[in-house]
Amino acid sequence: MVGAPGAGKSTAARKLARDHDGVIVCGDEIRRELYGDSAHQGNWVEIHDRIVEQLEEHAGKVVILDGTHFNSTYRVGALLTLKTYGWSNISAYLVNPPLERCLIQNSLRSRQVPRYVLISMYDKLQQTLSELPNEGFTEIITHTTNHNNDTNF
């Protein structure tokens, strides 16, 4: 998944998991598991180690990495991790609504990302989107929603 906070990545990830009998590996859930709170950023090495454990547990299955991956470095890192653990057909699912929609959806969440952080991440994503086709993904699939918030790929 690729997108700013509040973009709808987790909702889209759940739909993908249902439609493709997939498993979601989510950094927020891992932080909740390790630290008791998904807002706690924690130690990246511990978080990455748990991501790897979950990838090993689900080898051979459809896996959806639910996270922002808002810049090229994070996306390429995720791609390399997946390739290291046996995945070769790796799609980037881009969820990129207008900033205003991200801000509104973020305001409705129980755990809100600070506005300035969300705007910064959104801006960085927009600046690095042109790099996405050259990062090594098998395909890039753009997510859209209709006025009922139904997810479409």
Neighbouring C-beta atoms of residue 21, cutoff 10 Å: 8
Q: Name the token pair of 67.
A: 């996270």
- Domains, in order of start, for the chain: 9-152 (3.40.50.300)
pLDDT band at 153 (very low <50, low <70, confident <90, very high): very low
Q: What is the pLDDT of residues 86-143, one digit of tens each?
A: 899 999 999 999 999 999 999 998 889 999 999 999 999 999 999 999 999 999 999 8
* Bridge partner list, 152: 144
Distance CA 149, CA 144 (A): 9
Question: What's at 125, amino acid-wise?
Answer: L
Q: Name the token pair of 48.
A: 């990455």
Q: At what angle do helices 27-35 and 44-57 cross, to 10 degrees?
A: 110
